[in-house]
Amino acid sequence: MTDLILFWHRRDLRIADNVGLTAARERTSKVVGIFCLDPGILDQDDVAPARVMYLIGSLAALEKRYSEVGSQLLIVKGSPDQAIPGLAKSLAATAVFFNQDVEPYAKERDRSVIEALQESGIEVQPFWDQLLHPPKQVMTNAGEPYSVFTPFWRNWKAQEKAAPLTTLADVEGLTPSEQEQAQAAGTIALPTAKDLGFEWEHELILEPGEQAAQERLEAFCDRAIQEYGEQRNFPAVPGTSQLSAALKFGTIGIRTVWSAAEDVYNRSRSDETRQNVQTWQQELCWREFYQHAMFFFPELATGPYRDPFKDFPWENDQELFQAWCEGKTGYPIVDAAMRQLNTIGWMHNRCRMIVASFLTKDLIIDWRWGEKYFMQKLMDGDLSANNGGWQWSASSGMDPKPLRIFNPASQSQKFDPEGEYIREWLPELKSLDTELLVTGKIPDDERDRCDYPRPIVDHKQRQRQFKEIYQQQRAAR
């Protein structure tokens, strides 16, 4: 009988360019995929409906891919340390392979699954797939993890990158009687997001699945990447890849992404284009930097990195927070961004920085409130990137620059000079002069006429107040 390996998918929902899956196929021709719907994740109160839609859609696409290559994707629901070994035992699998993750919850979960499999005498093999360079591969000369981005980037960039792996092919799946056995052991049909209690009506900005991610990458490399450096800061312009959900769930392999960018770089004769490609590659490096940080400093997941923020006297006003969540602060660029998030489950990076600065520095609300709200809404919500982004914006993270306060008016004047983005997401302000929109200096009677709120705080005054609190905190430490 041919050896059976179960390949446990988690955030690698594809069959192309997948390290652990390729290794499984190299070992045996009989490889079956498995995905576990884990209540430990799905029952948390920070799960975004848009993210569940993307996940379920990508699992449906993955099921199809497996059947195209001759095998199956099995779905189970339950605690992974019971569901995975349970199925492996009943199918007499020789091994379970999977790709590792950096998050504290995932590391703990994997430890218990490995233990349970080993107790049952089933081989288990973890691999690294989601990063070009896994943790411990990019360290300082002293062998320490980096806490500052620029030297990390230099080291990371200089290291050789692996080429994309071949797509899984010619696989043997379960026989019909084995499929019945799997069902008896608890496999289920893939539920819908609604079955799991999540409602999402809006079209997703990136279609789920491997093929859509690949097509998006190709389209981005054909055009936008070549102007990325100039265009990426303008939220009204589709100047970024919008591949974040694909990278979060691994519907595309990071080696494939990197090599597509390298191709553009190598084909280009213009220094400017090359610079733009490199700027995008640097964003991929930020993604890895934050994942390495989460791996080495898991305490980041729950608290600040820098001392002055360890017991910061956040005001945490519930009403101000509510206004921020709903996009009703009276600051047009902030409100437009929050409405974009609430409507499509995604927000442009420039705007993520603006609203995060506003929540922490203007409203003096704990960055963890904003971090959680983002997780409840973002289709690409990812612990490492989200926590890194929030700590960067709050100035509580790994960053030598101490205080970063964004002025909403100058941000809109610079990055939405025609007010296009504001008009798109705040249609009630559509008819106002651009000057009023981008400076935010909208007279009260106009605000009332448009049914748009007055500013909930005064930016200048709050920024002064924040700085004072910050200086006191620093002096106290």
Is 276 designated active site? no
395 lines the binding site for ligand FAD (CB under 6 A): no
Residue in 178, 227, 314, 420 annotated catalytic: 314
Separation between Cα atoms, residue 83 and residue 326, nearest integer Å: 39
Residue in 128, 258, 286, 420 annotated catalytic: 286
Q: Which helix (H) or strand (E) holds 245?
A: helix 244-249
Structure tokens at 301: 């997941």
* Contact predicate 347/380, CB 8 Å: no
Nearest C-alpha neighbor of 386 from the set 280, 247, 253: 247
Report in angstroms how near the CB of residue 67 gets to ligand FAD at its nearest: 29
Strand partners for 32: 6
332 lines the binding site for ligand FAD (CB under 6 A): no
Q: Which helix (H) or strand (E) holds 125?
A: strand 123-127
* Contact predicate 233/81, CB 8 Å: no
CA angle 227, 434, 448 (to 5 degrees): 135
Is 286 designated active site? yes
Is 390 designated active site? yes
Which one of the spans 91-99, 100-108, 283-291, 430-438 is the region binding ligand FAD (CB under 6 A)?
283-291
Nearer to ligand FAD, 72 or 386 (CB): 386
Residue in 172, 227, 262, 283 annotated catalytic: 283
Binding residues with ligand FAD: total (CB under 6 A) = 28
Collapse the DSSP code of 127 into the 3-class scheme (helix H, G, I; strand E, B; otherwise coil) and give the result: strand
Q: Which of 241, 360, 396, 407 binds ligand FAD (CB under 6 A)?
A: 241
Separation between Cα atoms, residue 443 and residue 441, nearest integer Å: 6
Nearest C-alpha neighbor of 409 from the set 441, 379, 384: 441
Report in angstroms how near the CB of residue 400 gets to ligand FAD at its nearest: 17
CB contact set of 55 (below 8 Å; sequence gap of 6+): 13, 208, 249
Report in angstroms how near the CB of residue 223 gets to ligand FAD at its nearest: 13
Q: Which of 128, 286, 296, 314 binds ligand FAD (CB under 6 A)?
A: 286
Nearer to ligand FAD, 83 or 247 (CB): 247
Is 258 designated active site? no
Q: Which of 75, 76, 236, 243 binds ligand FAD (CB under 6 A)?
A: 243
Give the residue numbers marked as catalytic: 283, 286, 314, 349, 367, 390
Binding site residues, ligand FAD, CB under 6 A:
232, 240-244, 247-248, 283-284, 286-287, 290, 349, 352-353, 356, 374, 378, 380-382, 385-386, 388-390, 393
